[in-house]
Amino acid sequence: MRHGLYLPPFGPFGDPAVLVDLAVRAEAAGWDGVFLWDHVVPGAPPIADPWTTLGAIASATSTLRLGPMVTPPARRRPWVLARQASTVSRLSHGRLILGTGLGSDETGDFSRFGEPLPARSAKFDEALTVLRAIWAGDEVRHRGEHFAVDLDASQPEPHPIPVWTALSAEHPRVLARAAAGDGVFPLAGPHPPAPETLARLVSAVRPEGRPFDVAVAGNASPAWDEPSAVDLGALAEAGMTWWLESLIHFDPLELSLTVVDAGPPRR
């Protein structure tokens, strides 16, 4: 099992220099990854762009896996997202993981800019088709409901870019989308899913015969003021391959850095 950090690039983490320092400290403390939320409207100002920051983190670290967790393809042009992901993947020598999801409008990431919420699911699926074709170096002559792309064939990506899918509901279309990717990130609310719930989800989406990650977020570090009782062993037995320690913007930065410096929870 691997251990990562999962945090928003706003509030006390809104300074990109703070995020780069946090990632360097995380690597030194034994964490395996750092993953940033992707929003355009902050829950608390200021806010840093995740992709620019991930490029800086890639250049300042050597072993950390990194990526957005999660980016909504429905509000990003897929050809731009493909180039952003490709750039960070090459900068990091193949350490990028692309976390994807429908996206939340909790702070107005869609509605404040006139983005249609009902089209999110269809745009998500179509964008992933375009992304994968661009990364493969294929000639792309795409005419879809939401996107039109004309690209000549090019060199394929030098490193594979795993795609994880966030899900908050177990609808057949959502499960099929997750199963077609390289990992799943269940968003179960403020607490991680129960081991039996996770096991049922894993059995529904994990494909046979190829690697597939299962990432779960929550709080298990003993460095918190009030540590939570999370049975990481039971979650691992249920199929979890990544534990993501969640750092939240309303906690003091000093406390979050204490959790980072303490290293991954080993229980």
Catalytic residues: 39, 106
Q: Is 68 exposed, middle or buried (0-12, 13-18, 19+ CB in 10 A)?
A: buried
Q: Name, in order, each residue with C-beta under 8 angstroms of 225's C-beta and a sequence gap of 6 or more.
A: 255
* Environment class of 239 (CB within 10 Å of its CB; exposed 0-12, middle 13-18, buried 19+): buried
Planar angle of CA 89, 266, 251, nearest 5 degrees: 70
Helix (H) or strand (E) holding 214: strand 213-218
β-sheet with 183-186: strand ranges across = 65-68, 33-36, 2-7, 242-246, 213-218, 183-186, 163-167, 98-100
